[in-house]
Amino acid sequence: MAPVHVARLEALVSIRRVRIQRRARPAHVLDSLHPVVSRVLAMRGLDSPPDYSLRQLLPPRLGGMERACELLIAAISDDARICVVGDFDADGATGTALAVHGLRALGARHVDWLVPDRFRHGYGLSSELVAELEQPLPDVLVTVDQGVSSHAGIARAREMGIQVIVTDHHLPGESLPPAEAIINPNLSGEDFPSGCLAGVGVMFYLLMGLRTRMREAGFFDRGREPRLVQWLDLVALGTVADLVVLDENNRRLVHHGLMRIRAGQCLPGVRALLEVAGRNLRHVQAADLGFAAAPRLNAAGRLDDMRVGVRCLLASTETSARDLAAELDALNRERQSLQQEMQETAEQQAQELADGLDGELPGLCVFDSRWHQGVVGLVAGRLMERLQRPVFAFAPAEEGADELKGSGRGPDGLHLRDLLVDIDARQPGLIKRFGGHARAAGLSIEKNRFEDFRRTFDEHVQNIEFPGETVSTDGELSGDELSLETAEALADAGPWGQGWPEPLFDGRFRVLERRVVGEKHLKLRLSPGGQGPVIDAIAFRAGHLCHRDLPDPLHVVYSLEVNRWQGRVMPQLNIRYLVDETGTAND
């Protein structure tokens, strides 16, 4: 097993040493596109320029659609009560807001909504949440981004005379809950061409199908038919935030959501979230949704109550949206501060464990009684990225509780949920509850079993060979290509995201100047190979490297971006990684 040395624990937060693998250069070009964009898109398998027209959107033909629409049309016609039950992350919040906006626009007069409390109810439509429904009870419950595993909660709702429609995108278990209708592109036997829809995307498709059937039934003969595209900003935000694969259909949805935001045609809440993060709407990219708007929504679900996030997205005025966005921004700052404190404690524990093992860590389990259960996943993820080993971080389920909730993150080469299945099979009773997938998993254990779990976890991972971190790049850009024109063309060619990676390039540069900006970021002036134009570069949260010896030339992986600052517009390299020169870069 390759050792994880103590030196790997230093604070290289967003710039790490990696091996690189260059994508194969394509033999063909895509006509009418910038040469670099043509090359990048061809490397991703396209043989013609992408067509993001909404006319090419997949039609709303999913299993369960007919029955769900039948129930909702009856509810709208009968003036029945509908309750939308979402989830406590950004996908769930955007999907909940979309459902409320859309159902009301389609004629439903009594639409309420609620979101489970992460700490009291846990995930999904639990029986406890159903028991807390206020009178008068809803006639129909519609889940968003959850429900396919909520057997007990749905059974309880049915006993109370409530019809349940599930909209979800998560993988189902061995059996399905007793809902009246289930819409999920990942159900067994479902032939919908895109299983990558986020929860908000599934809800958008339900609204599309519902509007079509209402149109066919003559509901809009005497009134204006609502335009669903007006809420594509919500679909874009939730899709990017949930890190679902941006297949062609999802890219189409995100593209049009971004176009609406840039045109100023977004909801007040979406505008406020971006503006409170300092983003200029005219130049918003998918990354701004994922790294600026989404964390502020998620902070509410992690630390407090996602209801404030949904209220922001439902706000009807700019003033109320700004007030709610400011509240979310404050929660996000609190989350950042809390995460930093937890991160420092976790790193100290990791250092002590590494010292006791002669600098080698097969994996890492950390716990502190002061930690917050809503943030442990972020701590585990940051440590996993830097160590390239599986990490579990635990916090008390609630103050004074004898139960711990843990969140795990794993690198390539390990299926984290399968690991927990194996541990549970070999040591029954050690884990109370668990779930997850390949790269992320969650579990609950008794507090006094933490050391037992850590020991068992170490035994399971100590002989696993992890390949280390390898990053795919789109090759090298010439000096002439390091231009504002190229940067703008790459930005316009998006959206980029999960499964459709943003263009990353690698190259060697002479470092002409370096300094620290914003107290912790490394600002550089670089020259490609000592020749060609000088270009600015930034390495976020890498200011500690300013006074260290760096290789000459410096081999880095970077994205080429447009930097807008104080009225100036120029190209800039965003340095993501240092290249391990012992690795190979294959053309």
Condensed to tens digits (0 to 9), the pLDDT of residues 445-465 reads 999 999 999 999 999 998 888
In order of start, what are the domains of the chain with their CATH numbers? Answer: 6-46+474-579 (2.40.50.460), 63-330 (3.90.1640.30), 363-461 (3.10.310.30)
pLDDT at 400: 67
| pLDDT score of 155 | 96
What's the confidence (pLDDT) of residue 360?
65
Question: Can you give the pLDDT at residue 447?
Answer: 94
The Cα–Cα gap between 231 and 146 comes to 20
pLDDT at 13: 40
Which pLDDT score is estimated for 293?
97
Task: Determine how β-strand 364-367 pairs with β-strand 391-396.
Answer: parallel
pTM, full prediction: 0.91
- Tell me what pLDDT residue 358 has: 63
Tell me what pLDDT residue 6 has.
31
Q: According to the model, what pLDDT value does residue 582 have?
A: 65
DSSP string, 56-114: GSPPS--TTHHHHHHHHHHHHHTT-EEEEE--SSHHHHHHHHHHHHHHHHTT-SEEEEE
- Which residues of the chain have a pLDDT value below 50? 1-13, 584-587
pLDDT at 586: 43
Is residue 553 reached through a cis peptide bond, with omega within 30 degrees of 0 on the bond before it? yes
**Tokens (6 digits) for 149:** 């595993």
Please, which contacts does 462-466 make with residues 24 or more away whose CB atoms are closer than 8 Å?
A: 462/1, 462/362, 462/363, 463/1, 463/362, 464/1, 464/362, 464/413, 464/414, 465/1, 465/2, 465/413, 466/2, 466/388, 466/389, 466/411, 466/412, 466/413, 466/414
d(CA 454, CA 461): 11
